[in-house]
A and B are shown apart, each in its own frame.
Chain A
Amino acid sequence: MSATVARIPDNRQPTIPDAAPERRPPWGDVGFWVLAILFATILLLPLYVLFKVSVSTLAEATAPRPSYLPREITWANWGRLLNWDIIGDPLRHSLIVAFSTAIVAVLIAAPAAYVISRLPRGTRYFIVLGLLLTRMFPEVIIATPIAANFFSWGLNDTNVGLALAHLIRALPLVTWVLVGTFEVIPRDLEEASAVDGSGRVGTLLRVVLPLAAPGIAVAAIFAWLDSWNDLLYAIYLFLTERTLPLITYYYANRGTVTDVATFSIILTIPVLLLTLFLQRWIRSGYLSGAVKG
């Protein structure tokens, strides 16, 4: 055995037979892979179907027995809907609102999260838990009076109004992520900077902020995604204007199946790319921190 190890530098070779009996999954290796492939297929199937319908002719998409593979590929739906007259205004609203929400959320939440992260453990836990508990409020209980107020203030159908509404969901989320980010920045660095003669504001801007930048970026993207995906506040506040989720909804109600699928894919592409890019950061860390308190 040891001779084999010495002769073959690839250390995977000898460990496979050794480790195999120990690592038997619940249903055996074959069962494991069948299950993994089954789950992977089910998880990807809805997106595949949306894409398939978006490149199908209307006749094919409404046929009695749907086919798994496209019989005939057409880009006509994409060509018709990627038209500035249809998609321009909703896209503009969605982009402006999402970016404003992300930026303002960070501007409001980051300073507060810094202070909260420097509080003693008990108080900090209490505040973060309180912010998370705001999730217990059904959104409609907030949206109903907010919509009524915004109408009387003339904020309906405006980007400002919608961004203000999206902050309601974004702020607790961003604060939560940023408290976790600031917590791990050692206080010694701030004290060292203070000894060097920087004021507190200077220390914050020159020492703490650059170290927190990656976390702030991740939190901003979370807020951006949340705003980009939102239907609830948009449907309450936008009566004549449209955002991308809103036109997807209206097409789902009244449009053709191919148009719905095409809009869905258009709406999904940026979100999917950002999420897959973010997956390194959407790991257990934030969540396990919350579970353990």
Chain B
Amino acid sequence: MARDGSAVGVLVASDRAVVPPTPTFGQPAGLQRWLARYWLDIVLVTPLFLYVFFFMLVPVVQSIYLSFTLEGAGQPTFDNYRTVINRSQFRDAFVNTLGISIIGVTMEMTVGIIIALMLARAFRGRGLFRSIVLVPLGVPTIVAGAAMLYFIGFNGYLNEILLDLGIIDVPIYWQQSGLRGMFAIALADLWKTTPLVVLILLAGLESIPGDVYEAASVDGADGWRRFWDHTIPLLMPSITMALILRVIDAFRIFDIALVLAGQAIPVMSSFVYFDYQAGSINTAAAAAVILLLMILVFVVAYLLLVARRTEDVR
């Protein structure tokens, strides 16, 4: 008996990570003391955790369950996945989502780093420039998509600007599947999300000691080397965060693709929605699960690669 008691005591004392000490079973007095001490904290956090559980975790599990069953339930089956993968619309959605993410995030990170470096510098009109950079943040995503309609349309401003600059002679039809469509959607996404990338990278730059000087003195070969050897490695945590957030959101792209191209250029999320709307909730769930897997594979792969590279450096 005594040994049991001391073992529990040691366990509780050594387990510092768990803060409200775990109630030990068979000790009602301990449980009561624990409740008496922490009842308010428990009452305060319970609604949030219940909500997250019932409205986020349960639906995800429900989707996974739906994806493995046919209408009217029954045996678990891969039929939904087979059906979905054999549809050309789904393969288009898969390719488009990857393409838009790669094109979009590459442009976003490049533009984001340039603007962040500019904002890290002290110059007259910096406040105004910062406000202008934040403007797309204050525009609903669907409006960003709608605005892009006037640019990528056959009679749109993108063609008009390219014609005026003499880059093209004949207007281009942007709203078609394939690379052009992906580029058009990525462009709208770039416009909408640049502020977020800039804010994250700027926060990183500002936490680098002497960064204003650093950003300002990037000139000449020496400056560029310092930028690559010094600024970029120090900025790596911010770059990682911006990149992961952006790729996750690019994989989930919905509003912009729906407004700009609808069914003509399907992406994963809009494919799920159209399938759900057409009444086949099980295949919609299967496509949604595939999208979740895409995101998980990216995040895990990226973290493993970056973690491994960091270890190599050490």
Contacts and interface: CB of A to CB of B under 8 A. Distances in A.
Interface of A: 22-28, 32, 35-36, 39-40, 42-47, 49-50, 53, 62-66, 108-109, 111-112, 114-116, 118-120, 122-123, 131, 134-149, 164, 167-168, 171-172, 175, 200-201, 228-229, 231-232, 235-236, 245, 248-249, 252-253, 257, 260-261, 264, 267-268, 271-276, 279, 282-285, 287-288, 290-292
Interface stretch (B5-13, B201-209, B304-312): B201-209
B299 A136 contact: yes
A167 B202 CA distance: 29
B147 A50 contact: yes
Contacts of B44: 111-112, 114-115
B223 to A, nearest CB: 7
18 contacts: A24-B219, A28-B219, A35-B118, A50-B147, A65-B160, A114-B44, A120-B19, A140-B288, A144-B288, A146-B55, A147-B276, A201-B40, A229-B141, A231-B141, A268-B143, A271-B140, A284-B199, A291-B203
B66 interface: yes
Interface string B146-168: 11111100011100100100000
Contacts of B73: none
B137 A282 contact: yes
Interface of B: 16-19, 40-41, 43-45, 47-49, 51-52, 55-56, 59-60, 62-63, 66, 111, 114-115, 117-118, 121-123, 125, 129-151, 155-157, 160, 163, 191, 194, 199-200, 202-204, 206-207, 213, 216-219, 223-224, 237-238, 241, 245, 248, 251-252, 254-255, 258-259, 262, 268-269, 272-273, 276, 281, 284-285, 288-289, 291-292, 295-296, 299
Nearest to A134: B56
A49 B66 contact: no
Nearest to A244: B140
A167 B56 CA distance: 10
A229 B146 CA distance: 13
| Smallest CB-CB A-B distances: 7 pairs | A275-B138, A284-B203, A111-B44, A112-B48, A46-B147, A288-B203, A145-B62
Nearest to B256: A231
Secondary structure of the B side of the interface? helix
Contacts of B136: 43, 46
Given A40-B129, A146-B59, A287-B199, A46 B292 contact: no
Secondary structure of the A side of the interface? helix
A276 B131 contact: yes
Contacts of A40: 129, 132
Contacts of B273: 140, 143, 232, 235-236
Contacts of B63: 141-142, 144-145
Nearest to A49: B150
A291 B292 contact: no
Contact of B142 (A143, A231, A272): A231
B140 A267 contact: yes
A141 B291 contact: yes
A26 B223 contact: yes
B191 A46 contact: yes
Given A66-B155, A140-B254, A140-B291, A279 B146 contact: no
Given A249-B258, A261-B150, A275-B134, A136 B248 contact: yes
Given A47-B147, A65-B155, A252-B149, A268 B138 contact: yes
Contacts of A32: 118, 121, 123
B146 A248 contact: yes
B216 A24 contact: yes
Contacts of B122: 23
A271 B195 CA distance: 15
Contacts of B285: 141, 144-145
Contact of A279 (B114, B131, B213): B131
B238 to A, nearest CB: 5
Contacts of A232: 254-255, 269, 273
Nearest to A293: B237
Contact of A282 (B134, B213, B259, B295): B134
Contacts of A66: 150, 155-157, 160
A137 B269 CA distance: 11
B41 A115 contact: yes
Contacts of B117: 26
Contacts of A149: 59, 62
Nearest to A289: B203
B138 A39 contact: no
A267 B143 CA distance: 8
Contacts of A131: 52
B223 A249 contact: no
Contacts of A147: 276
Contacts of B43: 111
Given A231-B258, A245-B142, A288 B150 contact: no
A43 B132 contact: yes
Contacts of B241: 290-291
Contact of A171 (B48, B145, B160): B48
Most A-side CB within 10 Å, residue of B141, B145, B203 = B203
Contacts of A145: 59, 62-63, 66, 285
Contacts of A136: 248, 292, 295-296, 299
B272 A109 contact: no
B157 A49 contact: yes
A35 B114 contact: yes
A171 B49 CA distance: 10
A46 B148 contact: yes
Most A-side CB within 10 Å, residue of B125, B138, B262, B269 = B138
